[in-house]
A and B are shown apart, each in its own frame.
Chain A
């Protein structure tokens, strides 16, 4: 009956291998209209004139909407983004007009008939552009935007947010440092590239009910935003999310849902579908943030890190979305999992004329880990220490504090030391970090460590409701979206374990419907199992109490005398005396027909505890409930003649507290490593001189493909998180975080030049070796 830790196949598996699993774009109905966006060909331009006369006459066209029809601005932290460009466009691919037509091809054809006159404005296409004296301003009206008080945009600049960490004394830190390393790092914007492009349909009913069907990680945010911006009462906004074809953070941003609502409103509430093409998914919907970083680090001759000065310049794109919060999360965790007492960090999110960025798997940690782990290797090199020994000497432990001075305990942080030692063994470090193999090729190994916390809202909450069928089986209702991470299977395991019941008797409602499911903050930050898992355990407890109370009246004892297992409530002192759950959960009926009790409905909820806002002058505060930690290692064979390399092996050892589903967790980590390798080796947008994105298809935006993968090795360490369900910590993002620096550390050793810029293509490695500039700043 023990199901925790077992590799229980995902509960929606059969639907997925038979093609019967339904995603947002799979739903259509007769008479449904289609919307298409006309997007900007320019990165930064004033809109002089939009002429829709001809387009309106095109066949099948039912409505055309432009920015001036919807004078609102949206954004989760700074409300600066119009749904359709107003006055000017700020990035290539920005929506300018929306056409609603009978069919998608008609809407597309009509888009081409809209005439837009633009006037170019100087572009901001790098951190350097954004920061120069008298820069071109992406948002000259920044001061007029509404914003929450936790972001700090700097008016009349391109700085969307600045987070400061001031920990310890830098003066002391540098004084105690006998060696110092200073370097710059860069990677471009890239994309989530979930295989399902974003899609939303909207319908407005005569009674005012708004129904949205969407591929979203944040259905409750969609509901709130429809309410906030269009004044629809909250109870009248129903957001439904079927299975989602991959999220990776990109579908936590709300964009198409609001446009679909606008489209439906323009045609008297009829149902309208708006689906991204792959090209739009790349350049119109939000992307993965880019980064320029500078790190200066000091240590004693014996290898104790004494000081770190870190500047992050996040390339946030045209609108702030989650970029401003990502830059904050980067500051709060800027050192990675190392004990450093003296830390100075300024983390800036910059407005640029790129597609705007939003959350991406790892939320700031994949970004901060690259510069930090490269710097750690550079330090080890300067100290002539083994990079693993140097790390082991400095890893953070319970009792230490984070850059934001959050206290680490036995429960809220995993064991980095053990993870790294295990990774060392698994990559066979003892063979040597660099060896020459056949054909003068070089086998090299690199390592990295990482940590991650969730940086969630301080009051993020989740709920769970369980009801029973008349055979005693259980239905679970909650607000987690199934994006491929398998949380709903894990939740069923948690519930089965508590009821000591067969997994087959647990039914989890797969789709999310905000009308009926209790709210879950959003399906992000590797936090759903932690948050909803706790809510589910409480719902189970609540139901079990009700069952025991009812059973005690029948069995003539106290509720405490009773326990629940295998579909029965039984007397602990004599398990043979028992009642079937099926005879209790819809009320108990005596032989004479009298009934007592009633339906058992278990309620559970969870809210984040002890998280705090961040002090704007020092960065002090508690950003998340725990830090999942890990160590990663990569082995490659590099060919010095061609600068090509072959990925041989990638290792992750992660302390996830408790394994709930072994294959599920392993798959999350392996998939994460694959994504990390994509980001490290090939992904990244390139732009032409006009600021246009050049890679908007998979034939130019390269992804990992079958056969390119190394051998993946995953192991887990289990240092329980006391308040996690059965001791578990989140693990959805973590495989992605440290792969890029581990690879860069290996390749830097092979080419004997620091490789501080991603992606690491043979061309960029060759350029760096030749001494071409590494930094964009």
Chain B
């Protein structure tokens, strides 16, 4: 019942065998070994599985793998030395690290899309992710340090 599809992930064309019912998150983790996107709720509530699709952050747990066909998919493994990763490091914006990939992907898309985003926009975007360890103050400092650098 599995079928082969092609997905463009982090700039590379990848063939994966999936069930039609598989979510993108499952395909990434179990077929491609890209485990940076995490299951936290598998219900779209927590954002730990966030990836970037065509420039927009998406929760890969509520998207089917087949919906990713023909789209540019970026996962945390596709980011290398970006300003937001550096900012997360410098501002101690994580502890256990489980929500971090999702937060970074969301922040990265935000700064690409709205490099001079105001507080309210940042809040709107980042409220879709949950971090249980930090106080969010650290994440706020991280995203703002990058936004101000950009503007």
Contacts and interface: CB of A to CB of B under 8 A. Distances in A.
The judgment on whether A and B are partners is yes
Interface of A: 7, 9-10, 12-23, 25-26, 28, 105, 193-197, 243-248, 275, 277-278, 483-486, 663-664, 667-668, 670-671, 673-675, 697-699, 703-709, 711-712
A486 B95 contact: yes
Nearest to A277: B42
A671 B134 contact: yes
Contacts of A709: 135-137, 140
Contact of A17 (B41, B75, B100, B130): B100
Nearest to B76: A19
17 contacts: A17-B85, A18-B36, A19-B35, A19-B100, A22-B35, A26-B35, A194-B96, A196-B96, A246-B96, A278-B41, A484-B95, A671-B133, A697-B41, A705-B136, A706-B131, A709-B137, A712-B137
Interface string B65-94: 000000000011101100001001100101
B100 A16 contact: yes
A65 to B, nearest CB: 24
A638 B54 CA distance: 43
B49 to A, nearest CB: 11
B29 interface: yes
A671 B127 CA distance: 17
A708 to B, nearest CB: 8
A698 B43 contact: yes
Q: Tell which of A485, A486, A709, A712 has the most Cβ of chain B within 10 Å.
A: A709
A523 to B, nearest CB: 12
Nearest to A711: B137
Interface residues of B, number: 52
Contact of B130 (A195, A275, A670, A673): A195
Interface string B95-111: 11111110010000000
Interface of B: 19, 21, 29-30, 34-43, 45-46, 48, 75-77, 79-80, 85, 88-89, 92, 94-101, 104, 119, 122-123, 126-127, 129-140
A193 B75 CA distance: 25
Q: Tell which of A26, A245, A275, A483 has the most Cβ of chain B within 10 Å.
A: A245
Nearest to B130: A703
Nearest to B30: A28
Nearest to B36: A19
A667 B80 CA distance: 25
Contacts of B100: 16-17, 19
B137 A12 contact: no
Contacts, number: 163
> Which DSSP category, helix, strand, loop or mixed, fits chain A's interface?
loop
A663 B98 contact: no
B137 to A, nearest CB: 5
A667 B89 contact: no
A197 B39 contact: yes
B37 A19 contact: yes
A147 to B, nearest CB: 33
Contacts of A484: 94-98, 133
B132 A193 contact: yes
A195 B134 contact: no
Given A105-B21, A195-B130, A486-B95, A20 B136 contact: no
A23 B136 contact: no
A194 B132 contact: yes
A246 B40 CA distance: 12
Given A17-B104, A707-B136, A244 B41 contact: no
Contacts of A663: 92
Contacts of B77: 18-20
A482 to B, nearest CB: 8
Nearest to A486: B95
A15 B36 CA distance: 10
Contacts of A19: 34-37, 75-77, 79, 100-101
B35 A707 contact: no
B134 A248 contact: no
4 A-B pairs closest in CB distance: A19-B36, A484-B96, A245-B98, A19-B76
B40 A278 contact: yes
Given A26-B35, A246-B133, A698-B43, A195 B89 contact: no
Q: Tell which of A7, A486, A706, A712 has the most Cβ of chain B within 10 Å.
A: A706
Contacts of B79: 18-19
A278 B98 CA distance: 14
A194 B98 CA distance: 9
Given A22-B35, A195-B38, 16 more contacts: A16-B94, A18-B77, A19-B35, A19-B101, A21-B97, A105-B19, A195-B40, A197-B40, A245-B99, A275-B39, A664-B92, A667-B138, A675-B132, A705-B129, A707-B123, A709-B137
B104 A246 contact: no
B20 to A, nearest CB: 12
A706 B45 contact: no
B135 A712 contact: yes
A246 B135 contact: no
A22 B34 CA distance: 11
Contacts of B139: 706
Contacts of B95: 246, 484-486, 667-668, 671
B96 A243 contact: yes
A21 B132 CA distance: 17
Contacts of A21: 97
Q: Tell which of B29, B88, B126, B132 has the most Cβ of chain A within 10 Å.
A: B132
Contact of A698 (B46, B135, B140): B46
B132 A246 contact: yes
B98 A196 contact: yes
Contacts of B133: 195, 246, 484, 671
Contacts of B88: 17
Given A670-B134, A674-B135, A699-B43, A195 B76 contact: no
B122 to A, nearest CB: 8
B43 A245 contact: no
A596 B138 CA distance: 52
